[in-house]
């Protein structure tokens, strides 16, 4: 009876160790690759949104730092900002409404020339 309890405890401990190892592997190796792929996709979508927006707006309009895409995909927006950042970039009228109201939780920032500055 005692031996069977020890075997069960060792089996449970072994399973727990394997699960912990899988979680560590996922966090260290799989998730970072997924994030890099997601960021690369969002950067590409933001660059496309920039080209579409720039085709119908003046360089002066872009220099004000407008939101160029309220919905790259669900939860993501694209915004024009200066590099380095200027006070005009923080004005609510130059920020994406979906980000300000919490509908979007991620953003891609591009400079007025369409270069990706930051992804968050």
| Residue 106 · residue 75 · CB < 8 Å | yes
| Residue 92 · residue 100 · CB < 8 Å | yes
Determine the structural domain holding residue 109 and report its residue range. Answer: 2-119
pTM: 0.72
In tens, the pLDDT along 15-72 reads 777 777 676 666 676 666 556 788 999 999 999 999 999 999 988 888 888 999 999 9
Q: Rounded to 5 degrees, what angle do the CA atoms 24, 34, 81 make?
A: 125
Three-state secondary-structure class, residue 119: strand
| Residue 111 · residue 83 · CB < 8 Å | yes
Q: Provide the domain count of the chain.
A: 1
| Residue 81 · residue 66 · CB < 8 Å | no
């Amino acid at each position: 009876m005692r031996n069977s309890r020890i075997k069960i405890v060792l089996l449970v401990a072994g399973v727990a160790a394997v699960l912990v190892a899988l979680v560590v592997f996922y966090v260290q190796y799989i998730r970072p690759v997924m994030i890099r792929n997601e960021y690369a996709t969002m950067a590409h979508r933001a660059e496309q949104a920039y080209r579409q927006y720039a085709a119908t707006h003046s360089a002066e309009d872009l220099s004000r730092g407008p939101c160029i895409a309220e919905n790259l995909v669900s939860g993501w927006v694209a915004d024009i900002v200066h590099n380095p950042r200027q006070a005009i970039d923080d004005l609510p009228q130059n920020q994406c409404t979906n980000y300000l109201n919490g509908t979007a939780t991620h953003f891609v920032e591009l400079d007025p020339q369409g270069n990706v500055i930051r992804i968050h």
